Each structure stands twice: as C-alpha cells, then as structure tokens.
Amino acid sequence: MDPVVDAAWLSEHRDAVTVCDVRWYLDGRSGADAYARGHIPGAVFVDLDADLCATPSPAAGRHPLPASDAFAAAMSRRGVAGDDVVVAYDDASGANAARLVWMLRATGHDAALLDGGIAAWHGPLETTTPTRAATRFDPVPWPAALLADPVATASAAVLVDARAPERYRGEHEPVDPRAGHIPGAVNVPFSGNLDAAGRFLPPDALRARFEAAGVHAGADTVVYCGSGVTACHDLLALERAGLGPARLYPGSWSQWSADPSRPVANGDG
C-alpha cells in the first residue's frame, strides 16, 4: 500500500478502511477537543501522547516509542484491529499522523496518510463519537533494522534532521534543552515534502529532494526530528520516493540534547 492516499481514494474505499484522527498540538491545545468539534465520519481518535508514546523523560526523549505490547493494547482499546487497513489524518498535513502510519507500516500493517489531512476531506464532518468495541491487535516487536539508538545515529552514513531550518541551525529552540543539531546531520525539513497546498510532492520530486541532500537508495540513513514524530513524515516520504527503508532515531533531538556530554553543532554545517 502506498504510504499516502488522497481523499478520492478514501471516499471510494471508505467502508473497507479504519480512519484514525491523530490531531495533536505542541502548544498544549487538545487534539481530543478538535476531534469532538468535527471529524471525518467514523474516524476514531488516537491520542499521540497516550497511545503512540511511552512515558517521556530526559533519558528517553519527549515522545519515546511505547513497548510493542503497549501499542497493541492501545490500538485494541481504540477498536483498531490488527488486520484493519488504516488511513490516518491530522490538520497539519500529516506531521503528527505520520507517527501512527509509520508505526503500523514498520510492524507489517497496511496504513497510509490522508494527503492534505482533514482539509482535503470535502464531505461532511461529524461530532458524534462512533462506538467501537475493543478488538484484537497482536503485538509485533519493533524491527531493530528500522530503529537507531544514539550510538548508531552518530555513526550513520547519512543523518537527516527533519526539523525546521531555524531549529536545525540553532537559531530557535522552543522546547528542548539545547539548540542546534547532531554533528554531521543534513537538514531536510518535513515541510518541504509538501506543495503549497499541503499535499505530498510526486515521488520523483521527493526523490530529487532527498538525493540533493545526499540520501541515496541503499545508504544507511537515519532520520530524527525534535522527538521522533515529524521524522516519520520524512520516513514516509523516503519510502514514497523509493529511497527507503531508512531508520528512525526515536529519542531524536529531545534525547540527544538532554545529555551534556553529546556534541552539538550550529549553523548550516
């Protein structure tokens, strides 16, 4: 399954997929409240903090991956079955929903982002919460080949920082202990995967974008961001471009920068 589908595809296959709303806000606004005000009919709300992350800490980062059995239990509680085809969306062009899609695809499940998010859905929204019984979702271990710890991250052949350029350069750091980036990383902001309308670029354009940054098929590529969420947007874009699979550094900058013994680079290099 392609990692990105459009609203026309979702409309055509609506009865055969499970739709997940993964709205989340760095400024503390409630994704659940946004869901309650209006969501794609039948969509189930998935809480990024509660369902897609373990307990945050300086040692693990702001959004560490949950244990595989905890993730499976969360999906089961939400009524997402292990054999469901999932289409996930948010209102940030996939910046947050990409985390769920990557987690599902990494563990062998069919899942895709809704291109353009909720704004791309031209049908009516609903405010009622669908009743979904708990269902079976068996835990699958996180594939070691798709993850990188700090040691592997530091030695990656290609290290991609998916954050905004000003955070990469160390000019602005709103949430993490230190500003800057991991030495040797190249900046490929996730927002550049999108066109002016917030839709994904075609695969060829994505491929050219990443190749210009030094990412090539078969290279040992690790991607990180602030806390391992928007990095998943780059990982899905790499897959769409035919340059995957790459690895996720789940702790990302929030983990790296919390350890004063780890080096930090600033500027464009």
Report the SS3 class of residue 21. Answer: strand
Low-confidence ranges of the chain (pLDDT < 50): none
pTM: 0.97
Is 127 domain-assigned?
no
Is 135 domain-assigned?
no
Residue 19's CATH number: 3.40.250.10
Please report the pLDDT score of residue 244 as a whole number. 84
**Same domain, yes or no, for 154 and 108?**
no
Nearest to 21 by CA among 118, 105, 112, 111: 118
Please report the pLDDT score of residue 269 as a whole number. 77
What domain range includes position 88? Answer: 4-120
The kind and range of the H/E element at 222 are strand 221-224
**Domain's final residue, options 88, 120, 152:** 120
Domains held by the chain: number:
2
Q: Check if 225 is active-site.
A: yes
For 191-240, how does the pLDDT look when each residue is reduced to its tens digit (9 = 90+)?
999 999 999 999 999 999 999 999 999 999 999 999 999 999 999 999 99
**Same domain, yes or no, for 187 and 246?**
yes
User: Terminal CA-to-CA distance of the chain, rounded, Å?
Assistant: 36
**Domain's final residue, options 70, 104, 120:** 120
**Same domain, yes or no, for 182 and 246?**
yes
SS3 string, 81-96, reads CCCCCEEEECCCCCCC
Catalytic position from the list 20, 53, 225, 232? 225
